[in-house]
Each structure stands twice: as structure tokens, then as C-alpha cells.
Structure 1
Amino acid sequence: MKPETTHSLHQSLHQSLQPVGYRIIVVSLGGILLVAAVVKGIDLQQFALQIRQYGILPDNAGLIHGVAWFMVVVEAVIGAALLVNWRPKLMLAAFVALMLLFIVALVWAIVQGGVADCGCFGPAAQRSPLEALVEDAVLLLIAVAAWRLRPEGIYFRKPLKTWAVAAVCVLAMSLPLTVGKGLSDPPSAALEEGRNGSGMVLESLSGEQIDLTTGTFLLALMSTDCAHCRESVPLLNEIVAEVDDAISICGITASEQAEVDRFIEDNFAFYPVLNIDAQRFTSLMSDAPLPQFLLIRDGQILSRWQGEVPQLRALMEVAAKAQGA
């Protein structure tokens, strides 16, 4: 076979496989975005709380709920458009812009610390900002590859495609109000469950329990990959040594058990650290980054400190005041 013929066959094969590779990539990217949008839309309240923990937006519940809703719609529309190949050039550019936005937010979260869950898939999957950053960087590279593989042919704008994308847009807008948790409840409403003692028995994923309805506890809400959380360990160790049995100190996290064991070993924590269900963990948090510290007496949340470990004197004063009342 002549070299010219071989080259021609290779070129023909490349041209025939290029559209197939492009479609596989964009369908995969579109499916990922669509699934993420549905999961977030079903529990918009949880997604809003995850956005709030980044500390980028003003501390306004209405604004953050609106941004959460808007992001659900944007992801659903881009995902559906990529699936049906509607305005592919524009939608690929939108996907790249979305990934860049996510990457900037994740870098901010890593630098600032205190974000336990990236929020990429709402409450369905928990990943640290660093893990999500790697994943989004890979998706960005794949989207760039799809742009290079994109055939230069004419794309027919069939009305059916437009109607399909429009239908997904309407469904995404109505999702939080129909099958999901609506916007009427503020993100921190779940905290009220524990103020009267109900739901205040914490159980780790390994089955260990802490009954917060009896006694005085200082809960350190933390993430194992949070720099500020690691810095709080020596101060909490000092409190453990000072209070003896008057106040029980316990770290609470939603990280995996292997990460918890590594955290205790690397930071020499003298107090137990329990990993609990991510949704239960979030319900204990307020609308602020980690670490957070809750002083609880007989099931009542007496006080909360954010960012810094409370002084021992402040702890004892709050506990004594509650006992006198």
C-alpha cells in the first residue's frame, strides 16, 4: 500500500472518529451537570448553606438562596444543551466559564479554610475543596479537548432541541418548589431542632454515641483538612487539661474515619473526634465557616463561637450562668 494511501486512510479514520469522541465527551459533561443540578435543586436549602460557608457573598439569606437557585438553573440548562447538542459552541464556552468560576471559589475556600464540603453535588456526595478542585480542573481540560474536537460543520437548530432545553429550564426553576425543600426555611433553621433537646444524641458512623441531653459539652465542629481547625487543637487540649470532667470536649466532623484517625495522630488531639453523617453535621452548623464551637448543657445550646477557640473563663461563665438560671 502506498504511503499516500495509508496517510489518506488514517486521515479519514481520524475524521470519522472525531465527531464520535466529541459527542461522547459533551454528553458526559452534560450528564454530570444535569445530575448535579437535580441533586442541588431537590435540597436547595442544603446547597444554600454550602454556598454560605464559602464566605464570598454578603451574609444575606435571600441573596444566597437566589444565587443557589440561579446556579441550579444554569447548570441544568448547560447540561441539557450539551446533551442535545444545542448551540454547542456557546454551551461549551459556558461550561468552561462555569468550571473557571468553580475553581476560583475552591481556591478561595482552600486558602481561607473552614469549608467542609465543596457543595458540588449538594448533600449527595461529600468532597473537600481540594478534591473538588482536582476534579473541576480535569473537567476543564476535558471541555477544552472537546472544543478542539468540535467538528466545524453546520449545526441545525432544530426546534425540538430548543424546546427540550426550555423545558429543562422550567423544570429546574420549579424543582425546589415541587419535589425539593423549598426556599421558605432559612439555611440555619435545622439548628432549632436541637435547642430544646430533641435530636441531640449524636451517633458516629461507627456506632459510637454522645448523649448531649445530659451534662455540659463543648463541641468543636471541624474538618480534617481545615488549617484553622488544626490550629485549634493545642488550645482545646489546654481546655481538656483545665476543666477535668466539668465540661466534655469532643470534636465533630463529617470526614471519613481514616482522615479522622490521621487528624488525631498528626495533631495530637487529647479529646475524641467523631465523624457523623454529613447532613446531621451541617444541621449543627451556623451560616459561617469552620471551625465552630458549641457549648451545650443538658441539650440546650448555650453559646457559639466561630473561628477561634473560646477562652476557658468565657466557657465557665456561660456554664455557671446557665446553671444559676
Structure 2
Amino acid sequence: LGSALVVGYMRRYAVIATLPLFTIFLSFIGWAWYSGSTENCGCFGSKLKHSPKEAFIFDAILVLALVITQLLSWQKNKEPKVKEVNQTWKLATVIVSIIVGLTVSTYASFSPRQSSDPVVRLQVTQPNPFQNIVVSGLNVDLQKGLQVVVLMDTGCDHCQASVPRFNEIFEQSTIFPPLTAICSNSALDVKDFQRKFTAKFPIGRISAEDFLKLLEKGDTPRLFLLQDGKVLKIWDKECPSNDELKGSLPK
């Protein structure tokens, strides 16, 4: 549809086909906005918060632009038609775009970078993701020993709700590795988070760039099981049970 719109091949039908796609997408975003289930979640870091309301407005503007384009197209069709040039090259462009798109998508789907296992993705892109990461407010070396590291955001509802579980793991230091958390929030935000949600585990701060590097395609809270800086296991959004965490520990 995109290539057809760009080169002008059957543009009117391409616009008509695009409108329902945007409408369906808007309906999902509109429901998320109405229900408020993800409002101000902050699950992509405090620097990248993007509410359903904002997404709805942006996409609604695009839909409006498509509608205006279609109206202008209908108006143009009422004018005397000029003899059209050969449309073969436009059709060829669309076909080539489809073939290239399918080929690239198929190839990428088999790449380790697209693996559903976050550990596999990190091994390809970042073999040692915690190397050279500067942590402030935390007297722990993430490159040494066996430990659980939580990547979180103080404004994330999922992180806030998981504090009791984090406390539980932290307090069972004789059974589980020591637990620490890192985030890209300010020192004041961390202090307020610890006070409001009674977080007993230590929380360090890293740069927003390092936060996004560790988060990659995942979600917060993201739990890393590390051994000497090497990632053994990753849990996104869900905290592991005691049995699952024990089973993931190196023998």
C-alpha cells in the first residue's frame, strides 16, 4: 500500500484500503485510552512515556490526512481526464516492493536478532551487556558473582506492584543470589519510590542510554540472572516463582 501511494499506482484504491487499517488500529488505541489500563505506564522508561491519548491523536491526524487526500482525489476525477502515461513501471515498482519486503521479512524472521528468547538476542547484539555500565548510588559490582538485577522504572505500575516479590527474593539471601535494582530515574524519584512502596532492596541509577540498551525489546520490570556479568536468564514483566528461580541457578 505504501509503495502504491508513493508511485501513484491505483492511488484511490490504495487510500481506501489504508483507511480501514488505520480505523482498526485507532479502535484499539481508543479502547486503551478509554479504559485507562495503560495510562502513564512508563514501561519504556521515564524518557519515552507515550500514552494512548497521544497515540490516538497522532494517528487520528494521519487518518484525517488520508480522508482529505481521498476527497481531493475524487474532486480531481471530476475534471477532464488527461491521457495517462504507461502505468507498467508503477505496477512493476509495487511488485518489486512486495517481493523485496517479503524477502527481507522472511530472512529477518530467521535471524537470532528476532528470537523470542531475550538471552539469544543479547548474545548476538551485546555479549556482555553490563560491561562499561556506570551505576551510581549502588555499591555493587555487576560484573562479579551470581546475582539478580532488576531493570525497572519508578513510574511503572508493574514495577510498583512487584516490589513485595522483589523484597521476598532480597530477604531470602541464603537461598537466592543477592537482588539489586537499577533504573534511569532521578535520585529523588528513587527515594520517593523506596519510601512509598517500602522497597527494601538497593536501587542504583544508570543513564537513559544504558537503560534502553538493557531493555532492548523487553518490558519492565526486567529481571536478569547474572554470573560474572554474563546473562544466564531473563524474565520480562513477570517475576519468577521460587521454584523457577532455583531451577535457573547454575548447578
Normalising by structure 2, we get a TM-score of: 0.61
Q: What is the identity, as a one-letter code, of the residue corresponding to 2:225? A: L
Task: Decide whether the 8 Å contact of 2:182 with 2:204 is kept in 1.
Answer: yes
Q: Which residue of 1 aligns with 2:160?
A: 230
Distance of 1:147 and 1:265 partners within structure 2: 54
Is 1:272–2:198 an aligned residue pair? no
Q: What is the root-mean-square deviation in Å for CA atoms of aligned residues?
A: 4.5
What SS is found at the alignment partner of 1:95?
helix
Distance of 2:60 and 2:154 partners within structure 1: 23
Distance of 1:306 and 1:148 partners within structure 2: 46
What SS is found at the alignment partner of 1:199?
coil
Query: Larger helix proportion, structure 1 or 2?
Result: 1
Distance of 1:172 and 1:315 partners within structure 2: 40
Q: Which residue of 2 aligns with 1:163?
A: 92
Give 1:234 shift.
5.3
Q: Which residue of 2 aligns with 1:281?
A: 215
Q: Which residue of 2 aligns with 1:294?
A: 224
Distance verdict in 2 for CA 1:227–1:213, change over 3 Å: same
The counterpart of 1:183, out of the listed 110, 116, 119, is 110
Distance of 1:90 and 1:191 partners within structure 2: 44
Q: Which residue of 2 aligns with 1:60?
A: none
Is 1:102–2:25 an aligned residue pair? yes
For residues 1-325 of structure 1, the aligned pairs below 5 Å read: 78-104=1-27, 106=29, 111=37, 128=50, 130=52, 131-154=54-77, 156=84, 158-176=87-105, 181=108, 183-185=110-112, 187-188=115-116, 191-192=119-120, 198-203=127-132, 207-208=134-135, 212-222=142-152, 226-233=156-163, 235-236=165-166, 243=173, 247-251=178-182, 257=184, 260-261=185-186, 264=190, 267-268=193-194, 271-274=203-206, 275=208, 276=210, 278-282=212-216, 285=218, 290-301=220-231, 304-310=234-240, 322=250, 325=251
Distance of 2:238 and 2:180 partners within structure 1: 15
Distance of 1:133 and 1:265 partners within structure 2: 34
* Deviation string, structure 1 residues 18-53 (Cα, Å, up to 9, x no partner): xxxxxxxxxxxxxxxxxxxxxxxxxxxxxxxxxxxx
Consecutive unaligned residues in structure 1, runs of 5 or more: 1-77, 118-125
Task: Decide whether the 8 Å contact of 2:154 with 2:190 is kept in 1.
Answer: no
Give 1:83 shift.
1.5
Q: What is the identity, as a one-letter code, of the residue corresponding to 1:183? A: F
Task: Decide whether the 8 Å contact of 2:150 with 2:179 is kept in 1.
Answer: no
Distance verdict in 2 for CA 1:243–1:272, change over 3 Å: farther
Give 1:271 shift.
1.3
Distance of 1:132 and 1:202 partners within structure 2: 35
Q: What is the identity, as a one-letter code, of the residue corresponding to 1:98? A: L
Consecutive unaligned residues in structure 2, runs of 5 or more: none
Distance of 2:154 and 2:27 partners within structure 1: 22
Distance of 1:164 and 1:316 partners within structure 2: 53
Distance verdict in 2 for CA 1:281–1:306, change over 3 Å: closer
Q: Which residue of 2 aligns with 1:56?
A: none
Distance verdict in 2 for CA 1:189–1:309, change over 3 Å: closer
Distance of 2:91 and 2:157 partners within structure 1: 47
Task: Decide whether the 8 Å contact of 2:129 with 2:214 is kept in 1.
Answer: no
Distance of 2:103 and 2:18 partners within structure 1: 22
Distance of 1:222 and 1:148 partners within structure 2: 47
Task: Decide whether the 8 Å contact of 1:229 with 1:290 is kept in 2.
Answer: yes
Distance of 2:234 and 2:214 partners within structure 1: 17
Task: Decide whether the 8 Å contact of 2:128 with 2:230 is kept in 1.
Answer: no
Q: How many residues align?
A: 221
- Percent identical across equivalent pairs? 20
What SS is found at the alignment partner of 2:203?
coil
What SS is found at the alignment partner of 1:250?
strand
Task: Decide whether the 8 Å contact of 2:5 with 2:15 is kept in 1.
Answer: yes
Distance of 2:42 and 2:150 partners within structure 1: 14
Give 1:199 shift.
0.8
